[in-house]
Amino acid sequence: MTQRFATLPAPAFNAAIVCDHALRAFKSILGRYAWWQQVLFSALGASLLMLAAGWVGAVLLTTYSGWGEGVVVDKASAVTTPGVFVRYDAWYYLQIARDGYRADGNERAFFPLYPLAVRGLSQLANISLLWSGFLFSLSCFVGSALLLYRWTEAEHGARVARLATLIFCLFPMSFFHMAFYAEPLLLLTTAAFFYFAQRGQFTAAGVAICLAGATRGAAFLLAIPYVVEFLSRRDFGKRQWLGFLTGGLIAPLGFWAYYQYRGFHVEGGWGTHYDWPWLVLRDGLNAAFFGLNIDPDWFSRALVWQDLTYAVGALLIGLWAMRKMRWSPALFLLGATLFMWTLHGPDGYAFWSMPRRVAVLLPLYPALALVLIRAPRWMRMGALVLSALLLGLLATWFASGRWVA
């Protein structure tokens, strides 16, 4: 008797199912730990990913294609752990940390709090400026993630907070949050501001704005959520008024003190100027679609498309946040984005450095989490994986001394 065997088809690969199972396993592992342990796991895991990608860029990529123009330290230091993201503008912060400001140096356009903190840690711990900058930036990155989680949890619950923290840690521009740049400290002070303002602690929130103002000039935009948060609480007792007015007096001191000290048009130059947002958009579209006023190579075209994508994406998310988030963070996100739309980059690079500027807008991350939380699990996992891949790719490119944003 002939025995017949049925031929079963090979199981098809289903990316959605794989992503769903991976996300479930990841959440199961994280669920065993306290919230702060989950945040530390996410932040330090992302840090290792960025350092590994940076090593690939600084060691392997440069072996085949050479160094880019953005390397500002000697090649031996550029491939070390603390030096892998010391590129481009990091030179100015190194200059300030090492020698202070020169009477006519371009470093006067960079605010002092980050380099002074790096210098203080270097002297206190008796370590090099590069190691001090690396440890300080890493601490700011982790601290920002912790505060982001607590702030978002109070606003939207633990589920959204976990996703917002993951998006923050794996955002394609997050390697700037570990670099020898002021961005890590600006993020930390911004996160501290939202954390304290949400709790009605306006004196502490004003101190956070003051520190942010000594870090980057764009900190003045925090005045928007400061006022809106106070008004939205509708608690106008004497104690609240005293805290609000005290914080309001403290808030501008960081920016004011530096401006009076240096007397310089801060964060200007480099071919940038202010213009109407629709004119900036027009030039950005012309560069992206027709290559007007940019270099005729693939990198320039890719760069302007990246900048345009972040500019339009941030605007759309800001408008969406006005419907789904409280007014104070939503107005900050939308207002800061619109302000960035008025800053025209050099030549046809209208939205110059827009990705890096967008990445420090802290409400962006809970806003993105609120968008993704409605999507299927496999889509959320796919978005996080794609973001992590872009983060690794861009960190590799930047570490090799090439421009990203």
Rounded-to-integer distance, Cα 95 and Cα 113, Å: 13
pLDDT, position 287: 98
pLDDT, position 15: 58
CB 364 within 8 A of CB 187: no
pLDDT, position 185: 98
Calculate helix-pair angle for 158-170, 364-372, nearest 10 degrees. Answer: 110
Report residue 148 as tokens.
């982001």
Find all residues with CB under 8 Å of 25, minimum gap 6, and list them: none
HSE, side-chain direction, 13 A CA sphere, residue 113? 25
> Residues of 15-37 as b/e, b for ≥16 C-beta within 10 angstroms?
eeeebbebbeeeeeebeeeebee
Q: Mean pLDDT per 10-residue run, the chain (405 residues)?
A: 48 58 61 89 98 96 88 92 96 94 82 96 98 98 99 97 98 98 98 97 98 94 97 87 97 87 56 94 98 96 98 98 96 98 96 97 98 95 97 98 95
CA 122 to chain centre: 24
Q: How many residues does the chain have?
A: 405
pLDDT, position 212: 98
Amino acid at 60: L
Report residue 224 as tokens.
């928007």
Find all residues with CB under 8 Å of 301, minimum gap 6, and list them: 288, 291, 294
Burial tier of 382 (Cβ tally within 10 Å: 0-12, 13-18, 19+): buried
pLDDT, position 237: 85
HSE, side-chain direction, 13 A CA sphere, residue 355? 22
pLDDT, position 199: 95
pLDDT, position 2: 46
pLDDT, position 383: 97
Rounded-to-integer distance, Cα 214 and Cα 228, Å: 22
Rounded-to-integer distance, Cα 117 and Cα 114, Å: 5
End-to-end CA distance of the chain: 73
Radius of gyration of the chain (CA): 23
Rounded-to-integer distance, Cα 122 and Cα 264, Å: 28
CA 53 to chain centre: 18
Cα four-point dihedral sign 260, 265, 268, 272: positive
User: Phi and psi for 127 in degrees, rounded to 5?
Assistant: -125, 165
3-state secondary structure 3-42: CCCCCCCCCCCCHHHHHHHHHHHHHHHHCCCCHHHHHHHH
CB 335 within 8 A of CB 223: no
